[in-house]
Amino acid sequence: MIGVLIVDDDFMVAKVHSAFVAGLDGFEVVGTATTGAQALQEVQRLSPDLVLLDIYLPDMTGLDVLRRLRADGSDVDVVVISAARDVDSIRTALHGGVLHYLVKPFDRRTFEERLRQYAALRGELTRIDVAAQSDVDRMFGVSRGSAAPTVATPKGITPQTLELVRTALADAGEEGLSASECSERTGLARVSARRYLEQLVAQHQADVRQRYGTAGRPERRFTLRSPRPVDRGLKDRNDR
């Protein structure tokens, strides 16, 4: 069984996530924590396999918890589950070695997919002793949630950067982003930003439209597609 520690300052959200975890074969909730300090104590006491970590905590941020865990030598697996959409938070989380970053609100299917992908990654790591490049590529695809994409990911497109661009697009809302604006927000070159935006369109995660100005060529603007509706009560709690 994969032991999961759930860290969220909202008791009801933690309860909902606990029910999601309990409904998955091979997973069990070993504990919950509502503060950063408690999370650090429970990781040491319970030795979970996986921490589902919110960023907004009352005493410190989840990113601070992540830094403390790594500074203390903990190699516990972490998936961030948070309403924080800013690129800096995502970049810091990636640097801290998180396996995925799940943005609230989300539906149960998305939650379960991420945990199944995590279980698949653990299975890959226990199945082999020496990895070939194809094994490494497959494992990194699983860890970032792209083991079975709807559209094949072209060479040179990394799941981490694709998630970075997707989050920047989500943060832009209905106004969306041009390739130049995406470049400014993410630090990517304009050509690279456009390539990642077009990949999101190819994967049916984003839409593109032409916006005509008073002069010059029309501007292509990209917007993230709206997620599938979720239960209103869960959405309100997840938005915290």
pLDDT digits (tens, 9 = 90+) for 40-53: 999 999 999 999 99
Q: Are 95 and 113 in contact (CB under 8 A)?
A: no
pLDDT (tens digit, 9 = 90+) per residue, 57-67? 999 999 999 99
pLDDT, position 177: 93
Cis peptide leading into residue 149 (ω within 30°) = no
Work out the percent of the chain whose per-residue pLDDT is above 70: 79
Angle at which helices 36-46 and 62-71 pack, to 10 degrees? 40
Given pLDDT bands bounded at 50, 70 and 90, which one contains residue 204?
confident
Domains and CATH numbers, the chain: 2-147 (3.40.50.2300), 159-224 (1.10.10.10)
pLDDT, position 122: 80
Given pLDDT bands bounded at 50, 70 and 90, which one contains residue 152?
low
pLDDT (tens digit, 9 = 90+) per residue, 80-89? 998 888 888 8
**What average pLDDT does range 171-177 have in this prediction?**
88
Q: Are 85 and 171 in contact (CB under 8 A)?
A: yes
